[in-house]
Structure 1
Amino acid sequence: MKLTGREKTELFLEGIVTVVLLLMLNLSIIILINESILTNPGLRDGIFIIKKSIVIGPDHYHLWSWENIFIALMLIFDAAVVYWRLIRRYHQMQLRHIISELHYIANGHLDHRIGFKFKGNTQSVVESINALVESVIKSMDEERAIENSKDELITNVSHDLRTPLTSILGYLGLIQDKQYKSEADLLKYTEIAYLKAKQMKSLVDNLFEYTKVKQTGTPLSINRIDLSQMMEQLVASFELEAKKSGLQISAQGTDKPMHIEADAEKLGRVFNNLISNAIKYGKGGHHIYLACKTGRPGEAVIHVSNDGPKIPKKSLNQIFERFYRVEESRNKDTGGSGLGLAIAQSIIDLHGGYIAVTSDDKLTTFAIHLPFKYGDKLSRPKQDQEPQIAR
């Protein structure tokens, strides 16, 4: 830390005043001791005997002047006092600068940091202050994000509920006003209203599930499960639904058991969401591939892949955000709440894993990374390059 000109002058004057005061103190002590010796013959004779009995060096020099020894000791003491006073004053100046910086930050300049470099504990204090400011800013940003998130949640839920609700009210209004020509029209209007009501129920259920799994204290029912067996069961469960959409679903790498510790019900929800999306948005493709294998040490990797349309690159980083839907998916045929992938990611987070997605003209792959042992936490590589499943 560089001192200002005023502070340098203040430090210099501090040194001068201290030296003058010490010299006056030393002179007073010497005068008092001399007066005591001169007025006390016994003390004078005792000092003389002591000086004669003390010899120094090989030539046996005697100490004939106690004043020289006393002055030397006093000078050493004076130097120590001057040094201590100057260092103390310098630390006070450092503290003054730190307090000034704190006042500047407290006045609303939260982007400012204390840039002074100190030594020892003072530097630790500065680093702690900077870390505290960072923490405050982070907390404020998180609080702001939560508020924005609440507003966004209300807006999205209102929008997604309003659309089917409007349809329900419209068709029920037609039925109430008897604006139908035949029994077939009545059944048609009733069926549409029923389907829209089911869509609303699905959205509410997904929203409830999302808020539940987003809570950090969500309990998990951990058991030892066989991923290979789960893949085979998923293929059997979705085979008919996939066939109706012109898709074939198959599992690879399931010839050997692969056991992990996880919540089977919640993990099943993840795979149901991913496979349902592959069927729903994989129009134009022919296959859905499931595979499980060992990844890095202590890690199981499950792939859910399809050869349907490519996900745009701009959507890959947002696809796990709640209510986000790729623009091509916003149509009356596919619908969707936009919560499925957000729920899947939250469940995998609860298990200490993560989901990565890659998409090109040939294959779209969702890779679920899970620790074999519950309680372990996997770290996401900086650049996830997920290998594609061989077809």
Structure 2
Amino acid sequence: MKLSRIFPFNWLGDLFRFLRSTVRLGKENVQSSLRLQLIFTFVICLLASVLTYSLSDAILGEVNRAPQFDYTADINNMDEEARNIAGYLKISHTSDPGKEDARSFLQRHIELSQYKIMVLDLDGKVLLKSKDARETTVDLHNLFTNALEARNNPDNLRREYTSFYPIDLDGQKGYLVVSGIPQPTIYYVRDGSPLSIPFSIAVFILLFYLLTKRKMKDLERLTSGLLEISRGRLDYRVKQNSRDELGSLANNINRMAEELQRTLEEERRAERTKNELITNVSHDLRTPLTLIMGYLRLLKDKNFEDEKQADSYISIAYGKSEKLKGLIDDLFEYTKLTNHGIRMHQERVCLNELLEQLIEELVSHAEENQLQLIRSLPAEKLNVSIDPDKMIRVFENLLTNAIKYSHKPGTVKVTMTPDPDGYALVTVVNQGDPIPADELPRLFDRFYRVDAARTSSAGGSGLGLAIAKSIVESHGGEIWAESEEDEVRFCVRLKLS
């Protein structure tokens, strides 16, 4: 044991810290529970009302003091005096030469007593009496009856009270009667004020109102916040002032407003996207359709010089119709992919071999565009679980786009590397016009083109990258674009199996 622990002030410090932590814990519990706050408030108000009642009763009760009369003390004195005299007479016949005789004792005591004292024989004749006694004979029956009635009716103590005892005076039987009108002892008793209870009730109500006023304001704030949100102000936020249930309710209201706002914005964005889709599809369909109708009209009106020119019109119309069919097919496929309408037939494929085969097929196309395909694939086989046909379309789209938009002459580089997280990273790099950083995420939107260089005149439906993104994400992978100076990179990340 450490010596410092023996020192008593360390124990006092431990006790103080324990009490402080207990108070802090209790405070935190009260602050986080509305029920405990109401109970605590009720207890405080009740204690305050009880204290108010006690103080008001003590102060106002002094004003309403009422006198009380107590006759018991004087009655007890009469009984005590009669008992003492009777007791003395009872032992006066004992042989004691120095003892005062009974008659002398009675006579002396009668003269000194403040009460009326009489000694009666058995017939009611007065043998000895005090100066204020006028009777010579007494009706014993009435005397006893009145004495008993006075004892049994304490409310009638203002009349004469009589105390009697049987005695033996010089061998003669008789009665000792001590009587008199009892003198009261006066004392004052505080009478409860009728205003004490109303005062205590008023204090309880007022204090409860003041202590709950802040919570009522919080409730009013929540009510007004819900009203504002119901009017369509989804950007309105309720202020959170506490950590209890009301604070939690305010937080939930704000989260509800955020979710509603987000849902509404998504609906508006979906509506905008739908309108843009309709506009883009209408534009991209109208252009080839107009050309087809124009050349067919020329053929119908035989507005051509010779058969060679007619064949040229037919070839152009057929080419445009193929482009129109490709656009419609891409649109249908994209719609199915985004709505999860196409089921993926996944199998374990060696990604090295798939890329190697695809690059070989596009070598001649790249050479026609004065480009050289450079591959950098690892010797280690990287296997992935994919739908081969769908993933071939992704990489084919990325390579054809790289060939289409590269500076000629130049190179297109394809690299693949494994990463420590168990993914394969495939990158298609070409030298072309730089793409602004804020435009990179939008490359995968439907019908989006960065500038005039990427218009429909360059070929394509404008859905290739959007379809590629849907396919990659349906495989649990990622696809993104990067641009640095004149180097453009498209990256695909797939989980190894």
Structure 2 CA distance for partners of 1:103 and 1:309, relative to 1, 3 Å: closer
Structure 2 CA distance for partners of 1:92 and 1:180, relative to 1, 3 Å: same
Structure 2 CA distance for partners of 1:332 and 1:157, relative to 1, 3 Å: closer
Q: Where do 1:1-391 residues align within 5 Å?
A: 15=45, 19=49, 23=53, 91-216=215-340, 218-313=342-437, 315-330=439-454, 334-373=458-497
Instruction: Tell me the TM-score normalized by structure 2.
Output: 0.57
Residues 247-268 of structure 1, C-alpha deviation per residue, up to 9 Å, x if partnerless? 2223212422001222222211
SS at match of 1:318: helix
One-letter code aligned to 2:449: R
Q: What is the rounded CA distance, in whole Å, between the counterparts of 2:328 and 2:206 in structure 1? A: 74
Q: What is the rounded CA distance, in whole Å, between the counterparts of 1:83 and 1:216 in structure 2? A: 65
Specify the structure having the higher radius of gyration (Cα): 2
Q: How many residues align?
A: 309
Residues 325-364 of structure 1, C-alpha deviation per residue, up to 9 Å, x if partnerless? 1324345752221111111112112222222222234522
Structure 2 CA distance for partners of 1:21 and 1:181, relative to 1, 3 Å: farther
Q: What is the rounded CA distance, in whole Å, between the counterparts of 1:285 and 1:19 in structure 2? A: 96
Match in the other structure for 1:73: none
| Larger strand fraction of residues | 2
SS at match of 1:229: helix
Q: What is the rounded CA distance, in whole Å, between the counterparts of 2:263 and 2:456 in structure 1? A: 40
Percent pairwise identity: 36
One-letter code aligned to 1:337: S
Query: Runs of 5+ in structure 2 lacking a partner?
Result: 1-30, 32-40, 58-200
Residues 212-260 of structure 1, C-alpha deviation per residue, up to 9 Å, x if partnerless? 1112465322221111111101111211221222222232124220012
Deviation, 1:312, is 4.6
Pick which of 217-226 and 339-348 moved more. Answer: 217-226
Structure 2 CA distance for partners of 1:204 and 1:303, relative to 1, 3 Å: same
SS at match of 2:429: strand
Deviation, 1:17, is 12
Structure 2 CA distance for partners of 1:294 and 1:173, relative to 1, 3 Å: same
Contact 2:383 2:496 in 1 (8 A): yes
Contact 1:284 1:309 in 2 (8 A): no
One-letter code aligned to 1:239: V
Instruction: Tell me the TM-score normalized by structure 1.
Output: 0.71
Residues 80-101 of structure 1, C-alpha deviation per residue, up to 9 Å, x if partnerless? x999956667544432331122
Deviation, 1:23, is 4.2
Q: What is the rounded CA distance, in whole Å, between the counterparts of 1:258 and 1:124 in structure 2? A: 50
Residues 90-134 of structure 1, C-alpha deviation per residue, up to 9 Å, x if partnerless? 544432331122112222322110113212222221111110110
Pick which of 235-244 and 352-361 moved more. Answer: 352-361
Match in the other structure for 1:64: none
RMSD: 3.1
Match in the other structure for 1:55: none
Query: Runs of 5+ in structure 1 lacking a partner?
Result: 2-10, 28-77, 374-391
Deviation, 1:158, is 0.4
Q: What is the rounded CA distance, in whole Å, between the counterparts of 1:159 and 1:333 in structure 2? A: 13
Q: What is the rounded CA distance, in whole Å, between the counterparts of 1:362 and 1:326 in structure 2? A: 15
SS at match of 1:357: strand
